[in-house]
Amino acid sequence: MHWCGVRRVAAMVAFACVAFACPGTVGAASIPDNLSSSLSYKVIGTITPSCAVSQPTSDVQVVGLQNPSSDAVQSTDTDLTFTVSCTAPVKVSMSSAKGGLKTDGTTSDRDFASTVDYKATLDMPGASDALECRSDQMVNGGAGCTKQLPNPAFEGDGRIRIHTAAASDLLLAGTYNDTVTLTISPQLAGDGQGEGNE
């Protein structure tokens, strides 16, 4: 057996051969000629693209949902405003906790609506109507209401416009409410841009 005869063994094995006499070896041990007195490392740092959103208020009233003459649902537009800053293309999604403006009140009379559907339209700075969804599409964390935007970056004011359409349904006494969540995810890597509501 010739330990030092194996050229591809690790350096520690080679040093072992120097410290202890190798059977069958005659004279001084040879030092590999490929050793280096310095080491170099390639260090790569990645700065994660990010987005920031600030909103002037998180509690928004829908004014005039009830037609004072007919007591039915009437057309309204309510803006959920925000300021956004993103350093990369983004994927946006809008989610609804209840799938519409919903009240806890109930009745077996179908003349009344316990849920008022709405349409949500997202305007990003430089990208009007970037995403539009019905409230019933926005449930399940907004999985049915998401889109990748091609803009390289965003900076400025935006809004989600909540639109209720006039309907013949009567409204129950109480509070109709929903929680709308806007999620903006900066893209780190990948090819191409997504299309439409995923």
Give the H or E element holding residue 171. Answer: strand 170-171
Residue 47: partners with Cβ closer than 8 Å, 6 or more residues away: none
Token pair for 27: 């004279």
Residues 152 and 186: their CA atoms lie apart, in Å, by: 10
Q: How far is the CB of 147 from another protein (least distance, A)?
A: 11
92-117 burial string, b = 16+ CB within 10 Å, else e?
Answer: bbbbbebbbbbbeeeeeeeebbbbbb
Please, which residue, 151 or 187, has the CB nearer to another protein?
187
Q: How far is the CB of 16 from another protein (least distance, A)?
A: 33
Q: How far is the CB of 42 from another protein (least distance, A)?
A: 22
Q: How far is the CB of 198 from another protein (least distance, A)?
A: 6
Please, which residue, 14 or 180, has the CB nearer to another protein?
180
Q: Provide the binding-site residues for another protein, judged by CB under 8 A.
A: 48-53, 55, 58-63, 65-66, 71, 78, 80, 82, 84, 86, 88, 91, 101, 103, 105-109, 111-112, 148, 160, 162, 170-191, 194, 198
Please, which residue, 16 or 97, has the CB nearer to another protein?
97
Q: How many residues does the chain have?
A: 198
Neighbours of 56 (CB within 10 A): 10
Please, which residue, 4 or 153, has the CB nearer to another protein?
153
